[in-house]
Structure 1
Amino acid sequence: MRCRRRFQGRRALRVTGAVALLIALPLAPASGSPPPEPPASTFQASDPLEPGPAGTNIAGGEAVAMSDAPFAVQVAYDAEGTKVGCAGSQISAVWVITAKHCDSARLQSVRLGTPYLGVGGSVRTVAARYPSPAGDVLLLKLSAPHPGQYASLSRTFPAPGSAARVFGWGDQAEGSGVMSFQLKAAGVTVAGQGSDASGGLSVRTQSRTGHPLSGDSGGPLIVAGKLVGVLSTSSILPAGNTSGFAGLYNDHAAVSRHLGWIAVITGITPS
């Protein structure tokens, strides 16, 4: 079952709900030259209407231990936590942040504390979902606490040129349909500002050592140990391109844009 839809350019996505709450003020434009436009062909990094284990994630990159990203979680579309369709980040004992376009009636659980896809760690039922009114961000409240190491929210938008990492479970190639059994990471570089799948402010990155693909939606973008973005969209990976990722771009919903709203919903503020 596929969990990716390709599209030309950008398209408006269905918003499953809007919460009229306090949100952070928009950031001033980043200094320096504007970031390059991504290629015309982009895709929503995961399709929640057709969730399942056949999606793809980071192409290239490297397998890493859970200690590299102890906050990384698997968002699943069944109660057992085996039909993984998106990634996310644990930001407290009972809260996970992921992409809003991952939301659907089938989203049921989160698997935490394991580097292995669909096995190990702990599974928590999703008790409540809160979509952001300002971009492609979704907060998931867990049915029971899960103690662990949580992602720290960044107060600021990262500077262009900053080195960053993305994390997820995924394939080495576009369209192979088999997700990685082990957590993977790839290096990317912050290119500047862009727009996420819901029209919100994004951190645009250029892929370097790997490239996130469908199914990696909602996964963390980490700069200097802080969560700065939630993966929203990515460029289509050309056929046969398994090592040269420099011409590919990604847009991650900017966490700093949502801090006020996150604080209202969860009580969590940047550390």
Structure 2
Amino acid sequence: MIFAVALLLGLPSAPAFGSPVPGPPASTFPASGPQDPGPAATDIAGGEAVAISDAPFAVQIAYDAAGARVGCAGSQISAEWVIAARHCDSARLQSVRLGTPYLGVGGTVRTVAARYPSPAGDVLLLKLSAPHAGQYASLSRNFPARGSAGRVFGWGDQAEGSGAMSFQIKAAGVTVSGQGSDAVGGLSVRTQSRTGHPLSGDSGGPLVVAGKLVGVLSTSSVLPGGNPSGFAGLYNDHAALSRHLGWIAVITGVAPS
């Protein structure tokens, strides 16, 4: 059995196909004081710290206007659009930090103009308040084959329950093991952890196979007894973007390559 660690806190019902949820004003989220960073999901124990050039499209989803209170990750797919996990959606989701390997510092911050939760799975589209030029993730047309090698990226916890996110973006190798279900019942790409394992703090992070974005990190197995030396028997479910391509194209104009 897979024990998912995605935490669904007051998940809103999805709007009608193509209907935006407006981004909140900056005053919605106070600039100081403890804050709920949004629904948790997953990042990487083990793995390795990497340069932003390894995943230049990887972004941080923040629950303040300054881009400091990071709760999830995502991927930039065009100058104006970011894709993340639907269970990260919140009225307090306010900004995206782009183009930096470091948690909460550097790069460029854009506020969120509108949020589009998918009606079919754990996928969220975020429209940026202004375009940001960069290197964008290419969407795959296909569900990846069983046995395919992939990589996941994120800034989340480095040990189960630690609450200590990684200051530098990390990556880990995974292997596609088949299909499953994401946190809201949509089709997932199921992967087995190999060189690291996702933990709390970075839902929505990219799953990359053969240089293409194939999934959005949704849930993962609970990591037993601290960090083991290996990750055998630990699995992750990533919302399968092949199931959402038509919807993504209608909302954003971005098509798979």
- The answer to whether the Cα contact below 8 Å between 1:173 and 1:242 also exists between their aligned partners in 2 is no
Deviation for aligned residue 1:57: 2.5
Distance 1:144 1:8 in 2: 33
**Judging changes above 3 Å, is the alpha-carbon distance between structure 1 residues 191 and 10 closer, same or farther for their aligned structure 2 residues?**
farther
**Does residue 1:249 correspond to 2:246, yes or no?**
no
TM-score scaled to structure 2, two decimals?
A: 0.87
Call closer, same or farther: CA 1:70–1:8 in 2, change over 3 Å. Answer: closer
User: In 1, are the aligned partners of 2:57 and 2:75 still within 8 Å (CA)?
Assistant: yes
Mark the CA change 1:260 to 1:55 in structure 2 (over 3 Å): closer, same or farther: closer
- Deviates most, 109-118 or 174-183: 174-183
1:94-153 CA-partner distances (Å, limit 9, x unpaired): 000000000001100000000000000000000000000000000000000000000000
The answer as to whether partners of 1:13 and 1:198 remain within 8 angstroms in 2 is no
Bigger drift between 145-154 and 170-179 goes to 170-179
CA positional deviation for 1:235: 0.5
Deviations 1:4-63 (A, max 9, x none): xx8799989733422335xxxxxxxxxxxxxxxxxxxxxxxxxxx9317x9873100000
Q: TM-score, normalised by structure 1?
A: 0.83
Match of 1:189 among 175, 185, 193: 175
* Superposition CA RMSD, Å: 2.2
Partner SS for 2:43: coil
* CA pair 9-213 structure 1, distance change in 2 beyond 3 A: closer
Secondary structure at the aligned position of 1:265 is classed as: helix
Cα distance, 1:64–1:246 mapped onto 2, change above 3 Å: same
C-alpha separation in 2, matches of 1:219 and 1:11? 16
Aligned residue number for residue 180 of structure 1: 166
Compared with structure 1, are the counterparts of its residues 135 and 75 closer, same or farther at alpha carbon in structure 2 (3 Å cutoff)?
Answer: same
The structural deviation recorded for 1:160 is 0.4
Residue 210 of structure 2 is aligned to residue 213 of structure 1: no
200, 217, 221: which one aligns with 2:186: 200
Closer, same or farther: CA 7–188 of 1 in aligned 2, 3 Å: closer
Question: CA 1:13/1:250 → structure 2, altered by over 3 Å: closer, same or farther?
Answer: farther
For structure 1, the residue ranges without an aligned partner over 5 or more in a row are 1-5, 22-48
Distance in 1, Cα, partners of 2:249 & 2:137: 15
Compared CA separation, residues 210 and 71, structure 1 to 2 (3 A): same
Which amino acid letter does the alignment assign opposite residue 149 of structure 1?
Answer: Q
Letter in 2 for 1:14: L
In the other structure, the counterpart of 2:48 is 62
Runs of 4+ with >4 A deviation: 6-13
Map residues 123-162 of structure 1 onto 2, 5 A cutoff.
123-162=109-148
Residue 74 of structure 1 deviates from its aligned partner by: 0.1
Say which of 152, 155, 167 aligns to 1:169. 155
Q: How many residues align?
A: 238
- For structure 2, which runs of at least 5 residues remain unmatched after alignment? 19-34
